[in-house]
Chain A
Amino acid sequence: MSASSSNLSSALIAYQRIEHSFDSAFGAGLNPWRHLGALGFLFFWIVALTGLYLYVVLDTSVDGVYRSINWLSREQWYLGGVLRSLHRYAADAFLLVTLLHLLREFLLGRYTGFRHFSWLTGVPLLWFIYISGVVGVWLRWDQLAQFSAATTAEWLDWLPVFATPLIRNYLSANAVSDRLFSLFAFVHIGVPLLLIFGLWFHIQRISRAEVFPPTALSAGSLLALLALSLALPVTSQAPADLSLVPGLLPLDWFYLFWQPLMFATSAGVVWALVIGGSLLLFVLPVLPHAAAAPIAEVHPDNCNGCRRCFEDCPYAAIVMVPHPSGIAGRQLAQVIPDLCASCGICAGACPSSTPFRSTAELVTGIDMPQMPIGALRQDVERGLAQLEGRNGIVVFGCDQGASLSRLVGEDLARFSLICTGMLPPSFVEYALRGGAAGVLVTGCREGGCAFRLGNRWTEERLAGLREPHLRARPSRKALRIAWADRGEEAELADVVEDMRQALAAERLQNTEPIADATADTIVSPARTTAHG
């Protein structure tokens, strides 16, 4: 392992510790680290809506621009002042979660292959956010705005493209006209409009994109910003005076951090960082990386066109086309190679993936060449044969979550899928009927599925809320779901041990793992997690 990849692994472990530490306070499903993109959308809309009010009162004349914004904080603090503070703090939060979103996806290696489109369309959004935010500071036209506008002009003038240096717009009061602030307002509103288009492109290749966080997280975020706005209302500095050097200024370190950096170094250094950083982000997807896994393949003879794979694919990589059989109305799934994540969630959604089919060779409608459902059935049968008596536990996990290789015991049969969402729920019943005392389903932590929707679809299928559903009605002790990320093998082992003891107690009562083998009524399985 090279030094750089070792450093990346260390960074990823450190990041995951931080992310996991939030689970105890927020719960896995509401952990803000797993909703950074959606939080970005939320903050953007808060900025947009509060900005509407600010624009109504904004006077874009030289004399009026400072007065109109300052009036909000001084005279109408209860409405305009709060909205102004919300506007500013939501803008800071928007930038912060966007940067964290980028960092998280980078550490998780989510920028290559089928994800390259989302990555590449996300990078320019950073530019839009910065341009819009920095110009927003200038609309205050106080001393901070004066400093920032002049510094930005000096920075832009470093490029030999302007016939007349932009800094001449800020040399003296005579140089500043009403039109300047109309231009600022135009940019401050126009760039976010471009940002909306950019965001739309950014989520084009994922289905069911989470564009709003869960309600509780949204409400909590809004309340936190509101509390911050009331506790620390945003105010203007002294009005801009171009005949004087601005005094000591409280900087906005989210948007303006690079301006003191320019004075500490040079405009060229900041340009080098900006261009170099942008280029690095753009070329990341094309740098050498692991070869892409084989994509899903459709077997027309076993595809009845039910559309479940189409519905469940997290990346909109499946389209429905007329079936080659020519039967009127019958459809066939077709995989779009560039979009396929090779996650296998489609195979888990296929009703033909049931192991109860009597064919000697199980071929399903849509399958993963590297891990066919037929081979999984054979593996499960072999694993069940090796379990002693009816004490065994079958564990279905995934290659992205906690490693199953760390689970030991002759009473265990372990099967690591590409994604837990690849598990057809009928395999749970198949294992229990085949002699297992219990089945443990695991995978990435709730909300943290490497393929976005794997654990959500799995939970819903096992709970009977989504097709294909689990027909059998296992006892709560016979089926457990325990979400655990890579590195949490010890916690998963604790769940297995707890399950052993629970099943042992159940055996004393001579209870069957499947309460009613033929029942159609489905109840929710035990929704335990590896974290209690």
Chain B
Amino acid sequence: MPADQALIKLSFSHEGKLVSACRQRSAEELAKLAPNMRAPMDCPRGRSPVTVEIDLDGTPVYRHVAKPSGLSEDGASTVYHRFPVQSGEHRLAIRLNDDARNAGFNYRREETVNLKPGKVLVIDFNQETGGITLQ
């Protein structure tokens, strides 16, 4: 990588929301189930794919739809992508959607970052700490 560039790494491992809403089981349905299987809510197993987009200085530079892992698509969606950028000040816009039932993006973050040459900026996602993180 040239000396005057910095590196942006996008990486997350995140379980999208359930692909559809849970449903309350009726009393008849529960009665048909084995006693140990009588969960009141019937939830789908599959999870939503996670869509992520990045704009750099107003220009789209990355878009990816990460499918859930697992044969039943019930695991985490993972993304790893790195791209070098010219060092200096940049305007970053990151959008993420982890819910197939909603159009658009339910997480957004815009930030102006000043990247020194050789610096690594990591874009991650952690729902517990507020969603999209930059470090």
CB-defined contacts of B75 to chain A, threshold 8 Å:
163
CB pair B9 A171 closer than 8 Å: yes
Contact with A along B98-135 (1 / 0, CB 8 A): 00000000000000000000111010100000000001
Report the Cα distance A97→B81, complex, angstroms: 38
Smallest CB gap from A160: residue in B: B69
CB pair A245 B11 closer than 8 Å: no
Report the Cα distance A307→B28, complex, angstroms: 85
Smallest CB gap from B123: residue in A: A171
CB pair B118 A171 closer than 8 Å: no
CB pair A163 B69 closer than 8 Å: yes
Report the Cα distance A171→B126, complex, angstroms: 14
CB pair B78 A244 closer than 8 Å: no
CB pair B120 A243 closer than 8 Å: yes
Instruction: Tell yes or no: B33 within 8 A of A by CB.
Output: no
Kindly identify which residue among A157, A172, A244 contacts B80, using a CB–CB cutoff of 8 Å: A157
CB pair A244 B118 closer than 8 Å: yes
CB-defined contacts of B122 to chain A, threshold 8 Å:
171-172
Instruction: Tell yes or no: A196 within 8 A of B by CB.
Output: no
Quote the shortest CB–CB distance from A145 to chain B (angstroms). Answer: 16
Report the Cα distance A289→B28, complex, angstroms: 71
CB pair B9 A165 closer than 8 Å: no
CB pair B76 A163 closer than 8 Å: yes
Known contacts A163-B69, A163-B75, A172-B135, A154 near B119 by CB under 8 Å: no
Report the Cα distance A157→B70, complex, angstroms: 15
CB pair A164 B78 closer than 8 Å: yes
Known contacts A157-B80, A163-B76, A245-B1, A168 near B11 by CB under 8 Å: yes
Smallest CB gap from A157: residue in B: B80
CB pair A245 B120 closer than 8 Å: yes
Instruction: Tell yes or no: B13 within 8 A of A by CB.
Output: yes
Kindly identify which residue among A167, A242, A243, A244 contacts B11, using a CB–CB cutoff of 8 Å: A167
CB-defined contacts of B7 to chain A, threshold 8 Å:
245
Quote the shortest CB–CB distance from A159 to chain B (angstroms). Answer: 13
Report the Cα distance A152→B130, complex, angstroms: 31
CB-defined contacts of A245 to chain B, threshold 8 Å:
1, 6-7, 118-120
Report the Cα distance A243→B6, complex, angstroms: 10
Chain A's interface size range is 10 to 19
Report the Cα distance A172→B119, complex, angstroms: 12
Report the Cα distance A163→B75, complex, angstroms: 8
Instruction: Tell yes or no: A247 within 8 A of B by CB.
Output: yes
CB pair A244 B120 closer than 8 Å: yes
Report the Cα distance A163→B68, complex, angstroms: 10
**Which residues of chain A (154-186) have a CB below 8 Å from chain B?**
154, 157, 163-165, 167-168, 171-172, 174
Report the Cα distance A154→B78, complex, angstroms: 13
CB-defined contacts of A154 to chain B, threshold 8 Å:
80
Report the Cα distance A164→B75, complex, angstroms: 10
CB pair B76 A164 closer than 8 Å: yes
Report the Cα distance A221→B120, complex, angstroms: 44
Known contacts A165-B11, A165-B13, A168-B13, A242 near B80 by CB under 8 Å: no
Report the Cα distance A164→B12, complex, angstroms: 9
CB pair A165 B78 closer than 8 Å: yes
**Which residues of chain B (1-54) have a CB below 8 Å from chain A?**
1, 3, 6-7, 9, 11, 13
Contact with B along A106-127 (1 / 0, CB 8 A): 0000000000000000000000
Quote the shortest CB–CB distance from A190 to chain B (angstroms). Answer: 27
CB-defined contacts of B70 to chain A, threshold 8 Å:
163
Report the Cα distance A245→B69, complex, angstroms: 30
CB-defined contacts of A244 to chain B, threshold 8 Å:
118-120
Report the Cα distance A245→B75, complex, angstroms: 31
CB-defined contacts of A168 to chain B, threshold 8 Å:
11, 13, 80
Smallest CB gap from B124: residue in A: A171
Report the Cα distance A467→B1, complex, angstroms: 68
Quote the shortest CB–CB distance from A368 to chain B (angstroms). Answer: 59
Report the Cα distance A247→B1, complex, angstroms: 8
Report the Cα distance A245→B78, complex, angstroms: 23
Smallest CB gap from B3: residue in A: A247
Report the Cα distance A168→B135, complex, angstroms: 13
Report the Cα distance A157→B69, complex, angstroms: 13
CB-defined contacts of B120 to chain A, threshold 8 Å:
242-245
Quote the shortest CB–CB distance from B22 to chain A (angstroms). Answer: 24
Smallest CB gap from A171: residue in B: B122
CB-defined contacts of A164 to chain B, threshold 8 Å:
13, 76, 78
Smallest CB gap from A248: residue in B: B3
CB pair A243 B80 closer than 8 Å: no
Q: List 18 A-B contacts (CB under 8 A).
A: A154-B80, A157-B80, A163-B69, A163-B78, A164-B13, A164-B76, A165-B78, A167-B11, A168-B13, A171-B9, A171-B11, A172-B122, A243-B119, A243-B120, A244-B120, A245-B6, A245-B118, A245-B120
Binding site for B on A (CB under 8 A): 154, 157, 163-165, 167-168, 171-172, 174, 242-245, 247
Nearest 8 interchain pairs by C-beta: A164-B13, A245-B118, A244-B118, A165-B80, A171-B122, A245-B7, A167-B80, A165-B78
Binding site for A on B (CB under 8 A): 1, 3, 6-7, 9, 11, 13, 69-70, 75-76, 78, 80, 118-120, 122, 124, 135
Extra contacts besides A154-B80, A163-B13, A171-B11 (7): CB < 8 Å: A157-B80, A163-B69, A163-B75, A163-B76, A165-B13, A243-B120, A245-B118
